[in-house]
């Protein structure tokens, strides 16, 4: 049932005109994702106000939102608003697992799926209408399948641009579907408050309101010139264009993350460098593992330290070569932390974060990492030799001998010297 694709009843020209008349950009957004997952996993939580999180609310179910609870908000404040709320720890592994199952379902109607976070994605179904029918029909099928096969509510907005589709899905919640018909975009868009716009947060909202801009219509009427001195050229033109319903951004299928990072909050904070060393090592290990799991390497490292106040300082540097090595991230991360601490007056550090960007996938370098792993302390001499030999063979087989040199220079360390000497 759920796998059947709806087809237009008649494939005549009238039907096709109608089919192509609907906009083709979908924004699919799981409702109160984390909280919905908790309710699905534990039936006792269904229909009840749920808060996911520890110190702060990471997600609140709709039952809790009715009391004014919002994420992120301290759990203490949320309980004051909604004393009956049940606080649950997050099951983050489950969230990722369920998220990828939902994304697979979305990919059943088009390969052009751009995932923008765990719980939302854009789809461009223009290439699928001749096979699957109207976009609104596809949306109905997707919503039903996600509900039946994964057990989660999914809202979808359909419009002619990403920006409008995103706003439409927000207006469709909870558990709804909203199409913005062509020609009626302004009717939908212009009465909205500027805060409804994607890209207008606390700071920009305050600046706009100071100029007397309250609605999207106000923004569209004003034009970019007045905004440039306040928001900078890019933001001014970008927001004005969106308010005038100009959003040419395509849906990027198959896009991958441009950085990988991790951070750890430290409560009241640490002052001892030795304690921070342990934290940095833990973070470097996490980031290194995740990079290796993705088969990727980064060429730039950024370390961020937060101090009470709250004030934060970041220090970054280019790496000697692309890497996913925990040891390298740790060593360079520590030197960046030392530099970051110079900017403080010995205040406690309340958060340490590390992010690797400039990511690339390179098969030669990936094999170099395998070698790195092979020469690590976990292996016996014989195991190391076997792993090294198999890596050398694999590189030769795929790329020929010359690329060994390339790999060595790009790697920036001596893994390959050891290899080359062997061979």
Say which of 120, 195, 275, 347 is annotated catalytic: 120
We find the least distance from the C-beta atom of residue 104 to DNA, in angstroms, to be 19
C-alpha span between 3 and 193 (Å, rounded): 39
Q: Which of residues 96-155 bind DNA (CB under 7 A)?
A: 117-120
Among 86, 270, 343, 406, binds DNA (CB under 7 A): 343
Among 40, 56, 103, 406, binds DNA (CB under 7 A): 56
C-alpha span between 292 and 325 (Å, rounded): 8
Instruction: With contacts defined by CB under 7 A, name the span among 4-12, 105-113, 144-152, 226-234 that binds DNA.
Output: 226-234
Among 134, 145, 162, 286, binds DNA (CB under 7 A): 286
12 Cβ contact partners less than 8 Å away, ≥ 6 residues apart: none
393 Cβ contact partners less than 8 Å away, ≥ 6 residues apart: none
Determine if 259 is a binding residue for DNA (CB under 7 A): yes
C-alpha span between 314 and 337 (Å, rounded): 9
Among 19, 45, 69, 71, binds DNA (CB under 7 A): 71
CB 163 within 8 A of CB 180: no
C-alpha span between 302 and 344 (Å, rounded): 17
Determine if 68 is a binding residue for DNA (CB under 7 A): no
Instruction: With contacts defined by CB under 7 A, name the span among 128-136, 141-149, 308-316, 363-371 that binds DNA.
Output: 308-316
Among 233, 250, 320, 376, binds DNA (CB under 7 A): 233
Among 155, 355, 391, 415, binds DNA (CB under 7 A): 355
C-alpha span between 164 and 149 (Å, rounded): 28
Dihedral sign for Cα 407, 409, 412, 415, please: positive
421 noted as active-site residue? no
**In DSSP terms, which residues pair with 303 in a beta bridge?**
315, 354
Determine if 261 is a binding residue for DNA (CB under 7 A): yes
Nearest CA to 73 among 100, 52, 95?
52
Cis check: omega of the bond before 180, within 30 degrees of 0: no
Among 199, 250, 295, 376, binds DNA (CB under 7 A): 199
Determine if 357 is a binding residue for DNA (CB under 7 A): yes
Determine if 361 is a binding residue for DNA (CB under 7 A): no
Coil vs helix vs strand at 222: helix
CB 72 within 8 A of CB 51: no
Residue 202 or 210: the one with the smaller Cβ distance to DNA is: 202
Which residues form the catalytic set? 120
Q: Which residues are near DNA by CB under 7 A? A: 33, 53-56, 58, 71-74, 117-120, 197-205, 232-235, 257-265, 267, 286, 290, 300, 308, 310, 312-318, 339, 343, 350-351, 353, 355, 357
């Amino acid at each position: 049932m759920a796998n059947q694709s709806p087809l237009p009843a008649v494939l005549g020209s009238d039907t096709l005109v109608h089919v192509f008349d609907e906009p083709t950009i979908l924004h699919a957004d799981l409702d109160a994702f984390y909280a919905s997952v908790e309710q699905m996993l534990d039936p006792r939580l269904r229909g009840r106000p749920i808060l996911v999180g520890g110190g702060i609310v990471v997600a609140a179910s709709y039952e809790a939102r009715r009391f004014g609870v919002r994420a992120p908000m301290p759990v203490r404040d949320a309980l004051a608003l909604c004393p009956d709320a049940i606080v649950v720890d997050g099951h983050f592994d489950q969230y990722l697992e369920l998220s990828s199952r939902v994304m697979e379902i979305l990919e059943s109607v088009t390969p052009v799926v751009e995932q923008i976070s765990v719980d939302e994605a854009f789809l461009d179904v223009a290439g699928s209408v001749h096979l699957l029918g109207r976009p609104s029909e596809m949306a109905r099928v997707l919503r039903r399948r996600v509900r039946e096969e994964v057990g989660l509510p999914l809202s979808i907005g359909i419009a002619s641009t990403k920006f409008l589709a995103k706003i439409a899905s927000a207006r469709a919640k909870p558990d709804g579907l909203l199409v913005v018909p062509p020609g009626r975009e302004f009717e939908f868009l212009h009465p909205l408050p500027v805060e409804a716009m994607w890209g207008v947060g606390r700071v920009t909202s305050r600046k706009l309101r100071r100029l007397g801009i309250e609605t999207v219509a106000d923004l569209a009427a004003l034009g970019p010139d007045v905004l440039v001195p306040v928001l900078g050229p890019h933001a001014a033109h970008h927001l004005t264009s969106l308010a005038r319903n100009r959003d040419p951004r395509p849906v990027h299928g198959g896009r991958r993350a441009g950085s990988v990072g991790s951070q750890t909050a430290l409560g009241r904070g640490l002052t001892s460098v030795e304690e921070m060393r342990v934290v940095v090592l833990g973070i470097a290990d996490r980031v290194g593992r995740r990079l290796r799991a993705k088969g990727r390497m980064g060429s730039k490292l950024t370390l961020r330290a937060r101090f009470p106040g709250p004030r934060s300082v970041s220090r970054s540097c280019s790496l000697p070569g692309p890497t996913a090595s925990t040891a390298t991230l740790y060593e360079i991360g520590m030197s960046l932390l030392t530099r970051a601490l110079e900017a403080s007056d010995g205040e406690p550090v309340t958060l340490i974060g590390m992010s690797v960007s400039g990511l690339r996938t390179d098969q030669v370098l990936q094999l170099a990492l395998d070698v790195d792993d092979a020469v690590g302390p976990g292996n016996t001499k014989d195991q190391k030799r076997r792993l090294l030999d198999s890596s050398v063979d694999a590189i030769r087989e795929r790329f020929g001998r010359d690329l060994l040199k390339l790999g060595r220079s790009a790697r920036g360390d001596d893994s390959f010297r050891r290899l080359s000497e062997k061979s």
